[in-house]
């Protein structure tokens, strides 16, 4: 029997994860992280991750399961490691993925460390749809059984130490099966709708969130020939691949092709200019394999954003933490700031943050 903390958002996935672990006889506690200030939680009382309703559902579920529930304050850590990174990335022409950052720095970072040292917890479990597999002293991360819900992409940044203390009880289940279990066992969150927005921007309008936190920085908009065709108020208003709201008039559909933070410029062009076949990754984390030597290459299938169609590719290390990736058949947009994750079958091999892309 293990002492396990379940990170509970008040939703159906974490609720069923907690139920499954209690059925296995583990010593389970429920933990809800307070990540945003009370003012924001009051502003969006129905949807925020720290809303009264979410905390109430998590607490009620724990009472239903006969396990203790705690609400822990991680506002400072979340602001420093997730929100600030989100703001700074957009200000510098990058498009971040804050959920990946939260998994690495908060859920399986600050929370795991606190619970292990203060509460004797051995594992932190979440409602992610992914699978951990232990073999030969290494933990592999695999896709979840439900291809429509697989969240292994969002977990690639976890280290071997973090994965060794992580549990994903829903990895072998489908979302339909999870809902069915929640109804069968009368869990309070059985009908809770899916959360689609950023937890700290629960109304979904992240542009307004950024405008309130980033000073305007006017610059020029170029077409792909280098001709000036417009002006912008800041790179944070754009992301590579964006079509709407460009602030230019054109008879043809235009997309953001490139953001240049050094010169504070936006380049737009036709859709066919978007696909890129080469990119550099930074902060590369090797999950399924030991890191290869500099100059060595590994083949696999790459996902260039969450739930994008996989495309064949090869990853070549160019330093301890950076790699060059070749995607010969890529038809997707490679967006700096987003993550590229390399798979071999269902196994996560490695991943990193896209620094730059080219043809």
- State the catalytic residues: 102, 199
**Cβ–Cβ under 8 Å, residues 321 and 294:** no
Q: Where are the beta strands (DSSP E) in 102-165?
A: 123-125, 130-135, 138-143
In 10 A of CB 240, how many CB atoms? 24
- Asked whether the beta carbons of 267 and 222 are under 8 A apart, the reply is yes
275 DSSP 8-state letter: B
The phi and psi torsions of 72 (rounded to 5 degrees) equal -115, 140
DSSP assignments along 325-356, one per residue: EE-TT--SB--BTBEEEEEETTEEEEEEEEEE
Q: Return phi, psi of residue 57, to 5°.
A: -65, -40
Whole-number Cα distances in Å, 229 to 10, 224, 281? 48, 10, 31
Answer whether 168's CB lies under 8 Å from 107's CB. no
Upper half-sphere CA count for residue 68 (Cβ side, 13 Å): 9
User: What three-state secondary structure class fits 249?
Assistant: coil
Handedness of CA 100, 105, 108, 110 (dihedral sign): negative
Yes or no: say if 211 and 307 are a contact pair by the CB < 8 Å rule: no
The two structure tokens encoding residue 113: 């460390």
C-alpha distances out from residue 324 to 92, 171, 280, 299, 319, Å = 22, 31, 5, 12, 10
């Amino acid at each position: 029997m293990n002492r396990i903390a379940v990170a509970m958002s008040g939703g159906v996935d974490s609720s069923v994860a907690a139920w499954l672990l209690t059925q296995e006889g583990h010593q389970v506690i429920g933990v809800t992280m307070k990540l945003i200030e009370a003012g924001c939680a009051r502003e969006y009382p129905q949807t925020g991750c720290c809303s009264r309703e979410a905390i109430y559902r998590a607490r009620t579920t724990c009472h239903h399961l006969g396990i203790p529930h705690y609400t822990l304050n991680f506002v400072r850590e979340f602001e420093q490691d997730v929100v600030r990174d989100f703001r700074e990335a957009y200000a510098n022409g990058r498009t971040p993925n804050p959920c990946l950052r939260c998994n690495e720095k908060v859920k399986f970072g600050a929370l795991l460390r606190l619970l292990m040292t203060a509460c004797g917890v051995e594992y932190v479990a979440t409602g992610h749809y992914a699978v951990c597999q232990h073999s030969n002293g290494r933990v592999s991360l695999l896709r979840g059984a439900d291809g429509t819900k697989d969240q292994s992409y969002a977990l690639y940044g976890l280290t071997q130490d973090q994965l060794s203390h992580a549990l994903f009880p829903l990895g072998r289940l489908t979302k339909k099966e999870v809902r069915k279990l929640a109804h069968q066992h009368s869990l309070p969150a059985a009908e809770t709708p899916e959360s689609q927005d950023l937890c700290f921007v629960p109304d979904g309008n992240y542009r307004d969130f950024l405008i309130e936190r980033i000073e305007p920085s006017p610059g020029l908009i170029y077409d792909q020939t280098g001709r000036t065709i417009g002006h912008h108020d800041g790179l944070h208003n754009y992301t590579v691949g964006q079509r709407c709201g460009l602030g230019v008039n054109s008879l043809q559909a235009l997309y953001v092709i490139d953001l240049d933070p050094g010169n504070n410029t936006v380049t737009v062009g036709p859709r066919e200019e978007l696909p890129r076949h080469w990119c550099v990754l930074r902060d590369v984390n090797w999950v399924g394999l030991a890191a290869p030597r500099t100059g060595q290459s590994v083949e696999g299938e790459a996902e260039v954003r969450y739930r994008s169609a996989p495309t064949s590719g090869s990853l070549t290390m160019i330093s301890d933490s950076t790699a060059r990736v070749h995607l010969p058949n890529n038809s997707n947009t490679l967006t700096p700031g987003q993550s590229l994750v390399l798979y071999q079958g269902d196994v996560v091999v490695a991943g990193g943050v896209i620094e730059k892309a080219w043809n």
